[in-house]
Amino acid sequence: MLRSTIMEDESELFFFTLFFCCLFIAITTAGLIGNTLLLLTTIRSRSLRSPCNILIGSCALFDVLHQSALYVPAYGIISQVTMRSITCSMIMVKHIS
């Protein structure tokens, strides 16, 4: 009886993780598409080349770069790849510096 309860909990945890990971990927993809369209519109339209719009376009560019990196942890969560804590710490320190 106890073993079947543990299996059910693991199954529920897997579907819970999968649901939120898919939601995370969908939101990231929507942001990536929106920022890419904003960036392309700023580049292609001459009337949108004021300093303020160029600043907005550069923010969209760096958002695209940031959002494209968010697929890596999502892949790790779905494939259940784990990393050691020292590796995680090194990535965080490199990201900050």
What is the amino acid identity at position 71? Y
* CB neighbourhood size of 60 (10 A): 20
Name which residue leads in pLDDT, 88 or 59.
Answer: 59
Angle at 59 between CA 57 and CA 65, to 5 degrees: 105
Is pTM beyond 0.75? Reply is no
Q: pLDDT tens digits for 49-81?
A: 899 999 999 999 999 988 888 887 777 777 777
How remote is the C-alpha of 29 from its chain's centroid? 8
| Residue 42 pLDDT | 92
Mean pLDDT within 83-90: 72
* Phi and psi torsions of 13, nearest 5°: -65, -40
